[in-house]
Amino acid sequence: MIFVTRRERFNAAHRLFRPEYSDEKNMEIFGKCSNPNWHGHNYILFVTVKGEINHETGFTINLKELSRIIRVFVLEKLDHKNINLEVDFMKNRLTSTENIAIGIWEELEPHIKEHNAQLHCVKLVETENNFVEYFGNEN
Amino acid sequence: MIFVTRRERFNAAHRLFRPEYSDEKNMEIFGKCSNPNWHGHNYILFVTVKGEINHETGFTINLKELSRIIRVFVLEKLDHKNINLEVDFMKNRLTSTENIAIGIWEELEPHIKEHNAQLHCVKLVETENNFVEYFGNEN
Amino acid sequence: MIFVTRRERFNAAHRLFRPEYSDEKNMEIFGKCSNPNWHGHNYILFVTVKGEINHETGFTINLKELSRIIRVFVLEKLDHKNINLEVDFMKNRLTSTENIAIGIWEELEPHIKEHNAQLHCVKLVETENNFVEYFGNEN
Amino acid sequence: MIFVTRRERFNAAHRLFRPEYSDEKNMEIFGKCSNPNWHGHNYILFVTVKGEINHETGFTINLKELSRIIRVFVLEKLDHKNINLEVDFMKNRLTSTENIAIGIWEELEPHIKEHNAQLHCVKLVETENNFVEYFGNEN
Amino acid sequence: MIFVTRRERFNAAHRLFRPEYSDEKNMEIFGKCSNPNWHGHNYILFVTVKGEINHETGFTINLKELSRIIRVFVLEKLDHKNINLEVDFMKNRLTSTENIAIGIWEELEPHIKEHNAQLHCVKLVETENNFVEYFGNEN
Amino acid sequence: MIFVTRRERFNAAHRLFRPEYSDEKNMEIFGKCSNPNWHGHNYILFVTVKGEINHETGFTINLKELSRIIRVFVLEKLDHKNINLEVDFMKNRLTSTENIAIGIWEELEPHIKEHNAQLHCVKLVETENNFVEYFGNEN
């Protein structure tokens, strides 16, 4: 068993707020992250996959294929988007880093499986000081 | 003469577009950066100041004071904001990295002067692959 | 269960030595890290907390609160200090990166618990080539 | 139990290919990494060791000694070398990042044991976007 | 006048040596960089362009176009190649970082000019500790 | 003319204060950097040299030789030292980043000259947010 990680990046806008709250209450709970006019981040995404090494190729998973899966199922939905308004898998979810990481896990997990590998970790870096790691709902 | 640089960061949303263009024409010229629902970045700002060393303190400029000037005149206007909608010094300007850097220069320059130092360079990093440097309109 | 990490930094002086040893013996065992006149580091601290997501906020722990806890119980004691002479929780302990990490864990652990989360890891980076991770004394 | 990590670096040439394949077939499977004239990388290696703290020194393992072990058994074999042609422990192995990481583990593991510590992880970074982690064949 | 920088990367093999020297003499002068079996690097390239801002777009140069020029005239020639054997503009040149940077300048300079901008600097990073900057033969 | 940069690092303790001031006055002017028990940093040093390329070697200056000069004349004096107490070239100077950078310039400049090259810049990074650049007293 070996662990392989691919780093990808996307730039997106978002806002932390609950629609049933007033702007004032959102500001109180979420601070400046609740700005109704949005703000944004250069998100950095680390996707870690685990599996046996294929002796024909020396690879656990072909990184070009892993990169393609991430691009099609995650980056094309998130990059240069408004995460609150435009991302199908974030509908009705607060766009906290935690929830985005879980959403990305759910998007990727079935597609990794098809390659004789398992998704191990989604790490999502929001700023140089804050990041989140999700290992699936069995961990 | 010695050069002193302070790094600061802000997270903001923006959009590259010309209001007189259609969304289609904006997309043609500005690509996905023209998304009408905005996107965003973790901007990294490097402010370089030059001057003589004050022999009493060993400093060209007290970095706490430089940091305060950047916070009051730049970060409080840009951090967690929509650069197109909410930033006074970007009114009627395309929010390209070039124009934001020039806007930051104009905000900072008079306040640096008051400290026996000169603003030398505003470097603004939009992504890990793209950055802009402005040295004022005499250079 | 999800893991959230906050990065913080502090600059401090220290010295590796045993008071019962001569300077020569300390030099033999600890090398130049035993310099009696001290040396210092820009320490980088990563504090990882795990827990369930609060569905009201989307957060495992509010990062502003986590940052405040780290500042009050760790940074105010360590930043711009002499770790051997001035830090209460390092009294009578060799100031190796290992021991500082364990000391930081003991300072933080009770305060994280009060927020429906568990301290998972204290990672302390001493130089770009050396770091330590501590997961508590049950791991 | 505490975890200590040492970072080291080496620059090497390699090629991904199977000798029984034609250049065309190698190109199809391994892409430009199969270039018969080689290409190369600045590899970054993180070696993590775990163990109890020695109360005399405050160390899990003396990092100078860990660094020496890595230098003698790994870096001197890999640095400024052709991994396919010149590295004894990579003979008859595809030089994928996965296989190099396992080879490094096998080189280091017996020598770490002699120091009352256990090798925990070999992390090998091939590019800023790709890395591999190996925790031994019992994990 | 404003300065815009694009970062790109390529991985390549090379060797420092003079063909008229013996392997022994090459080793004496170039050290392990002269290994006849090659070694390699993850080169990081920063291309800085200067010019006036186009008021229609807010750009000095469209970064997609700058990125395309670098890809076509530099990266496709260098990435995953052997710089000594396969790169036309390095024929009969020692493949020192200095000479590669000058070669890249000569490749890029005429194509930047066509975009109402001037090439200002080619910065080439060979390792995290070594880099070279070239500003053209008039500087 | 081409510019070559070597990065080196040192860890040291220091204190900003004027001996003729009281501890209280030092605290007022220099803040927590004046702590009488010292604090410290992982300083990062970038030394940039300029010159013609030697056509025999392809080098402006042999980086091994540049690294040796920095080690002998700078790092051995500063690394794991107390800059206020133990560094000959900092005697009677406030140990601000500005003054350390100038001191390093004066140490290096005559030795670079002997290698048909000129010292161009000493850049000294004190923290990830603060750095200083010195280009000699003619600039």
Q: For residues E29 and E83, is the Cβ–Cβ distance under 8 A?
A: no
pLDDT for position C62:
93
Number of domains in chain A: 1
Q: What is the mean pLDDT of chain F?
A: 96
The residue assigned the tokens 């003729």 is F20
Q: How many CA atoms lie within 13 A of D10 on its CB side?
A: 25
**Chains with 3 or more CB pairs under 8 A to chain D:** A, C, E
Q: For position A108, which CATH number holds? A: 3.30.479.10
Helices then strands (H, E): number in chain E?
5, 5
pLDDT for position C39:
98
Across B99-128, average pLDDT:
97
Q: Do E37 and D85 touch (CB under 8 A)?
A: yes
Chain E residues with beta carbon closer than 8 angstroms to that of F63: 130
Q: For residues E108 and E70, is the Cβ–Cβ distance under 8 A?
A: yes
Across E18-47, average pLDDT:
95
B45-103 pLDDT, tens digit per residue, is 999 999 999 999 999 999 999 999 999 999 999 999 999 999 999 999 999 999 999 99
Q: What DSSP state is assigned to residue A88?
A: G
Length in residues, chain E: 139
Residue A74 has pLDDT above 70, yes or no: yes
What is the gyration radius of the CA atoms in chain B, in angstroms?
16
Contact with chain F for residue E26, Cβ under 8 A: no
Residue type, position A3, single letter: F
Q: Domain limits at B72?
A: 2-134
Which distant-in-sequence residues (6+ apart) come within 8 Å of B128 by Cβ? A9, A42, E7
Residue A139 has pLDDT above 90, yes or no: no
In a domain, F18, yes or no: yes
In a domain, E93, yes or no: yes
Q: Do C96 and D58 touch (CB under 8 A)?
A: yes
pLDDT for position B139:
66
Closest CA to A42 of C63, B97, E127, B29: B97
pLDDT for position B43:
98
From A28, A39, A76, A80, active-site residue: A80
Minimal C-alpha gap between A58 and chain D (Å)? 6
**Stretch 60-79 of chain F: residues touching chain C, C-beta under 8 Å:** 79
- Which pair of structure tokens corresponds to residue C70? 């780290």
Q: Do F2 and E129 touch (CB under 8 A)?
A: no
Q: For residues D16 and D51, is the Cβ–Cβ distance under 8 A?
A: no
CA D104 to chain centre: 4
The residue assigned the tokens 């722990």 is C61
Minimal C-alpha gap between C53 and chain A (Å)? 8
Minimal C-alpha gap between E83 and chain B (Å)? 24
Q: Which H or E element spans position C39? A: strand C39-51
In a domain, D80, yes or no: yes
Coil, strand or helix: which one is E8? Answer: strand
In a domain, C139, yes or no: no
In a domain, C117, yes or no: yes
Q: Do C40 and F13 touch (CB under 8 A)?
A: yes
Across D74-78, average pLDDT:
98
Residue type, position D118, single letter: Q
pLDDT for position B138:
79
pLDDT for position C138:
78
Which distant-in-sequence residues (6+ apart) come within 8 Å of A55 by Cβ? none
Q: What parts of chain C have a pLDDT lower than 50?
A: none
Chain A residues with beta carbon closer than 8 angstroms to that of D30: 57
Integer Cα distance of E129 and B20 in angstroms: 49
Residue F139 has pLDDT above 80, yes or no: no
A26-47 pLDDT, tens digit per residue, is 999 999 999 999 999 999 999 9
Contact with chain B for residue F25, Cβ under 8 A: no
Minimal C-alpha gap between F23 and chain B (Å)? 15
Residue type, position F44, single letter: I
Integer Cα distance of F81 and F69 in angstroms: 18
F70-118 pLDDT, tens digit per residue, is 999 999 999 999 999 999 999 999 999 999 999 999 999 999 999 989 9
Nearest residue on chain D to C20, judged by CA atoms? Answer: D56
Residue E139 has pLDDT above 80, yes or no: no
CB pairs under 8 A between E and F: 51
Coil, strand or helix: which one is E6? Answer: strand
Alpha-helical runs (H) found in D7-139: 23-30, 63-70, 76-78, 83-86, 97-113
Residue type, position B97, single letter: T
In a domain, D139, yes or no: no
Active site residue A126: yes
Coil, strand or helix: which one is D121? Answer: strand
Listing DSSP states for E91-118 in one string gives TTS---HHHHHHHHHHHHHHHHHTTT-E
Among the partner residues D94, D128, D130, nearest to A58 by beta-carbon distance? D94
pLDDT for position E138:
79
Nearest residue on chain A to C46, judged by CA atoms? Answer: A129
In a domain, B139, yes or no: no
E60-118 pLDDT, tens digit per residue, is 999 999 999 999 999 999 999 999 999 999 999 999 999 999 999 999 999 999 998 99
Integer Cα distance of A77 and A73 in angstroms: 7
In a domain, D123, yes or no: yes
Integer Cα distance of B105 and F18 in angstroms: 34
